[in-house]
Amino acid sequence: MNDLPVPEAELHAFVDGELSAERQAQIVAWLAQHPADAARVHAYRTQKEQLRRLYDPLLDESWPVSLNARVSQMQSPSASRSLFDADDKAVLSTSPENQRVVRTPLPRSLFHKGHWLAGGLLTLSGVLVGWLAHAYLQPPVTPIVSLPRQAAVAHAVYSPDIRRPVEISAENEEQLVNWLSKRLGARVRPARLGPLGYQLIGGRLLPGNSGPVAQFMYHDASGQRLTLYLSSENTANQETAFRFVAQGPLNVFYWVDGQFGYALSAAIDKDELARLAKAVHEQFEPR
């Protein structure tokens, strides 16, 4: 055995089993006489072992909803490559522009609303269609541009909070609803998302542009949190299509309906969030 110091790279290669048996044995002999190197080797091995202990439990973790959808597509015998075309995810957060606004079709139910047909002015339907199309094609008007941003920030601030995510919890829902309604000056209530896997945690009052707004928080079985941001500040009283913004990992659907602005935020797949947004929209539709 020669007494030349073992190069650092070889200590790593020793730990990772990259050396020949012969060299491996020489290093064992070296370590026996060089406690500092032996301590390093020990530390590196411990790191390696602890990394496995730290991350191996993830192997058994259930898959998130967003992956499940893809997984079931891949498992189906008819899965074809066209399901996964590159364009498919153009609006997800990893798209070249990280923030995009897209429109998804307005739910049919919006067209059943009385007010734009009021007066039976069907002769003006051409004008109305034009107006609707105009409303569709316009970029978001100023007041609602801030809506998703505010909702996203509120989501980012409160949803990671383990101990105090809400001011009033779902057990006291009646109290929560009365309080928020009183403060917002309009009847507000949380949407029911239980059938879609999200249970209400509770809600809180937040400052909006000119007054109070409400945030309801939900979670699913895996602990994934979802927030519904509700503003009654929309004095323009217009309606909009669903709009979508991705901000980093967070996806936000938002829309304006009459006096209320709604924004639904969660770090979940866009399609999944769209389903939830439609469910919320349907529940708040005026009857």
Q: Binding to other proteins (CB under 8 A): which residues in 163-182?
A: none
Closest CB to other proteins among 20 and 94?
A: 94
Q: Which of residues 265-284 bind other proteins (CB under 8 A)?
A: 265-269
Closest CB to other proteins among 43 and 102?
A: 43
Task: Determine the Cα–Cα distance for residues 27 and 33; give it in Å rounded to an integer.
Answer: 10
71 in helix, strand or coil?
A: helix
Which residue among 6, 38, 135, 145 contacts other proteins (CB under 8 A)? 38
Amino acid at 104: T
Which residue among 166, 242, 247, 277 contacts other proteins (CB under 8 A)? 247
Closest CB to other proteins among 11 and 280?
A: 11
Q: What are the residues whose beta carbons fall under 8 Å from the beta carbon of 38, sequence distance 6 or more? A: 31, 32
Largest Cα separation within the chain, whole Å, is 101
Q: Which of residues 193-222 bind other proteins (CB under 8 A)?
A: none
Task: Determine the Cα–Cα distance for residues 262 and 278; give it in Å rounded to an integer.
Answer: 11
Contact 196, 276 (CB under 8 A): yes
The size of the interface with other proteins (CB under 8 A), counted in residues, is 72
Binding mask 45-64 for other proteins (x = CB under 8 A): --xx-xxxxxxxxxxxx-xx
Closest CB to other proteins among 64 and 143?
A: 64
Token pair for residue 83?
A: 């399901």
Expressed in angstroms, the distance from the first to the final Cα of the chain is 89
Q: Which of residues 112-171 bind other proteins (CB under 8 A)?
A: 152-153, 155-157, 159-160, 162
Q: How far is the CB of 144 from other proteins (least distance, A)?
A: 19
Q: Which stretch binds other proteins (CB under 8 A): 114-122, 192-200, 246-254, 279-287?
A: 246-254
Token pair for residue 14?
A: 């020793």
What angle, rounded to 10 degrees, do the helices at 270-284 and 65-75 form?
120
Q: How far is the CB of 204 from other proteins (least distance, A)?
A: 16
Contact 263, 252 (CB under 8 A): yes
Which residue among 25, 74, 124, 236 contacts other proteins (CB under 8 A)? 74
Task: Determine the Cα–Cα distance for residues 245 and 267; give it in Å rounded to an integer.
Answer: 12
Amino acid at 222: S
Q: Applying CB under 8 A, does 29 fall inside the site for other proteins?
A: no
Closest CB to other proteins among 110 and 245?
A: 245
